[in-house]
Copies of this chain bind each other. A is one copy, B any other.
Amino acid sequence: MQTRFRGLLVPVATPFDEALAPDVEALVAHCEWLLAQGADGLALFGTTSEATSLGLDERLELLEAVVAAGIPATRLMPGTGTCALTDSVRLTAHAVGLGCGGVLMLPPFYYKSVDEAGLADYFAELIERVGDARLRLYLYHIPPVAQVGIPFGLVASLAARYPETLAGLKDSSGDWEHTARLIAEFPQLAIFPGSEVFLLEGLRAGGAGCITATGNVNPGGIQAVYAGWQTERADALQAQASALRRAVQAHPMIPAVKAILARQHGHGGWRRVRPPLVALEAAAEAALLEAVTTAGLEIPG
């Protein structure tokens, strides 16, 4: 039986080559580095991964390449939610077929103000069409970006109807009260805040860890909080991780993470983003690197 994810999961940033095609070699190397640094799982194709900027075939091929390169599928929680039921079914069935430990599922996010009943129909239809007992579904609540959120009533109805399949939820609302209420109301689910600033408070409340963009650049520091949360050093470790987070999120998150990765991996190609995102300008990048170094991130070179 599939174990639920816990700890630090990283929405893995996607490197691009000069033609803006995914750079498989650099992606696999980054996945290996993240696992070696202490990431418990890899949430490929998240918001930080620019997943919605990747084509359907690119997502299918990239996941296959990562698994073929030897990254353990059980450690993978790829994003497989799109606006279209049929494409979401296809990506999800593909991920389950490759043995992924779970999938992280956006709601369909084009139409706004949709009925909760329509969202429930969507997820139920998706689960039925995938029709695989191995599926472990983590809902993705990120209203600042997707606008369409995952209401409490939807979580409750899916948890009741699919107790084996519905495994957890990532809460990127940025609202601790919301996360705390999810943890309290759904003790059977693995609830992950979408930022490490809530990691310690979340663990103390019964949360499962965190799934966080800055896990790409500070996996060791965040894993230290998770590993040490019941020790007397917990608050100090959390404060250190939070300081680094704040230094990064003073800039647009995705280009900031990639600018740091360019330095960490000694590979300037990491700076590339796909439009409509825009890379950091040189001055912003310099300020960012100084701030994260001051916050304690050790960058080689």
Taking CB atoms, residues of chain B closer than 8 Å to A115 are 276, 278
Q: Are A276 and B144 in contact (CB under 8 A)?
A: no
A27 to chain B, nearest CB (A): 16
A281 to chain B, nearest CB (A): 11
* Interface membership of A98, Cβ < 8 A: no
CA distance A117 to B47 in the complex (A): 20
Q: Are B55 and A278 in contact (CB under 8 A)?
A: no
Q: Which residue of B lies closest to A110 (CB)?
A: B52
Interface set, chain A 40-91, CB cutoff 8 A to B: 47, 52-58, 83-87, 90
A22 to chain B, nearest CB (A): 10
Taking CB atoms, residues of chain B closer than 8 Å to A118 are 275-278
* Interface membership of A247, Cβ < 8 A: no
Q: Are A107 and B53 in contact (CB under 8 A)?
A: no
A187 to chain B, nearest CB (A): 28
Q: Are B84 and A53 in contact (CB under 8 A)?
A: yes
Q: Which of B55, B117, B122, B276 contacts A114 (CB 8 A)?
A: B276
Interface string of A261-284 (1 = CB under 8 A from B): 000000000000011111000000
* Interface membership of A119, Cβ < 8 A: yes
CA distance A61 to B114 in the complex (A): 28
Q: Which residue of B lies closest to A54 (CB)?
A: B84
* Interface membership of A185, Cβ < 8 A: no
* Interface membership of A2, Cβ < 8 A: no
Q: Are A276 and B55 in contact (CB under 8 A)?
A: no
Q: Are A144 and B86 in contact (CB under 8 A)?
A: no
Q: Which of B54, B58, B122 contacts A276 (CB 8 A)?
A: B122
Q: Which 8 A-B pairs have the closest CB atoms?
A: A55-B86, A122-B275, A118-B276, A121-B275, A52-B110, A52-B83, A55-B87, A114-B276
- Seed contacts A58-B86, A119-B276; 20 additional CB < 8 Å A-B pairs: A20-B85, A47-B110, A52-B110, A52-B111, A53-B85, A55-B84, A55-B86, A56-B56, A57-B86, A85-B274, A85-B275, A107-B276, A108-B276, A109-B110, A111-B276, A114-B276, A114-B278, A117-B278, A118-B276, A122-B276
